[in-house]
Amino acid sequence: MIKDKTFEFKNGGDPDVASAVAAIRSLLEFLRRDQSETILGLRENMTQAIRRLEETDSSVAVSSGGELFLRFISLTSLEHPDLSQCKNVMIERGELFLKKISLSRGKVGKLCHTFIKDGAKILTHSSSRVVLKVLENAAADNKRFTVYVTESQPDSAGKRMAQKLRKLNIPVMVVLDAAVGYIMEKVDLVIVGAEGVVESGGVINKIGTYQMAVCSKAHNKPFYVVAESFKFVRLYPLNQQDVPDRFKYTADILKTVKDLNQEHPMIDYTPPSLITLLFTDLGVLTPSAVSDELIKLYL
């Protein structure tokens, strides 16, 4: 049943919705239909549902959305020990939470576009809806700028991003992933999205982001990350190997392939030392401020 719901929300539904938001929406629906008698039973059902969701879509965002939802349940159940009352409060708060986080992309867009100056040349990686929103806001502000997008193999997501930007009348050029070092001297700033923001203040994003960050550091260009706050995840990777396998590869590959060493990972980890600023709906944060936010939530 949960699988039908997720398919309904993700494939059939709005492609503009972030995967974490779709996951949380389906979990909320699951919560509504849940029949358990105790809060512990409810939590167990939720955990199972989240696991099923991760089997369908193994991205970091879904995992962070799921964990946030579990946290949400625990916090609410602490305040209202009676199950039926608790459920009503949860559903009400869940709706409010959903409403707030669907607005977060707009908030990020508003914060970031002031950093784009007239005549700027921006480099971005792969296809990110948040970066698109930021560039949309900047264009609406009558700023003139050019965008370079990396192709981002293996799924050529960069080409899709370029199409969307062309529709907004923003001059855009697609470059090879290998051309990042070549193009870095021309650009003024780098803006990327994130699939997950980790505790250290680093980000997990499409493969190739780390490369871009190292290059921009070498050329002294600011490297900005735009992400909504529900992408904050409780991971602390120290290097690329530390990122769990379940995030690196798509769900289908995890299920079918025996030797993961032969597969190419879809994401990489960018350490906080390479990131200049993070733009989130909680404000503009330095990488050191991210762990503060996570502590406030989980402690």
Decide if residue 71 touches other proteins (CB under 8 A): yes
Per DSSP, the residues of 32-62 read HH---SSHHHHHHHHHHHHHHHHHH---HHH
Instruction: Report which of 9, 10, 57 is spatially closest to residue 255, judged by C-alpha positions.
Output: 57
| Contact assessment for residue 196 and residue 64, using Cβ atoms and an 8 Å cutoff | yes
Range in contact with other proteins (rule: CB under 8 A) among 30-38, 54-62, 132-140, 225-233: 225-233
Q: How many CB atoms lie within 10 A of CB 222?
A: 14
* Candidate list 112, 132, 213, 282; residue touching other proteins; CB under 8 A: 282
Check residue 93 for interaction with other proteins (CB under 8 A). Answer: yes
Please state, as a whole number, how many other Cβ atoms lie within 10 Å of the Cβ of residue 277: 17
Nearer to other proteins, 103 or 179 (CB): 103
**294 in contact with other proteins (CB under 8 A):** yes
CA triplet 53, 294, 265: central angle to 5 degrees? Answer: 45
Q: Cβ of residue 298: shortest distance to other proteins, in angstroms?
A: 9
Residue 82 lies near other proteins (rule: CB under 8 A): no
Does the protein bind other proteins through residue 266 (CB under 8 A)? no
Residue 296 binding other proteins, by CB under 8 A: yes
97 binds other proteins (CB under 8 A): yes
Q: Which is nearer to other proteins, 137 or 150 (CB)?
A: 137
Q: Note whether 72 binds other proteins by CB under 8 A.
A: yes
Q: Does 63 bind other proteins (CB under 8 A)?
A: no
Name the minimum Å distance from CB 210 to other proteins.
19
Q: Does 103 bind other proteins (CB under 8 A)?
A: no
The single residue listed with the structure tokens 């870095």 is 184
115 binds other proteins (CB under 8 A): yes
Binding range to other proteins, per CB under 8 A, among 1-9, 168-176, 233-241, 290-298: 290-298
For 37, counting Cβ atoms within 10 Å of its Cβ (0-12 exposed, 13-18 middle, 19+ buried), the class is exposed
If the CB atoms of residues 111 and 174 are measured against other proteins, the closer one turns out to be 111
Element (H, E) at 278: strand 277-280
Matching residue, tokens 């030392």? 273
Question: Which residue among 3, 32, 100, 166 contacts other proteins (CB under 8 A)?
Answer: 100
- Contact status: 77 vs other proteins (CB under 8 A): no
Number of CB atoms found within 10 A of residue 129's CB = 17
Which CB, 48 or 273, lies closer to other proteins?
A: 273
DSSP string, 211-269: HHHHHHHHTT--EEEE--GGGB-S---SSGGGS-HHHHS-HHHHHH-S-GGGSPPSEEE
> Could you say whether residue 277 binds other proteins (CB under 8 A)?
yes
Beta bridge partners of 150: 175
Residues that bind other proteins (CB under 8 A): 68, 71-72, 75-76, 89, 92-93, 96-97, 100-101, 114-115, 229-230, 232, 276-277, 281-286, 288-289, 292-294, 296-297
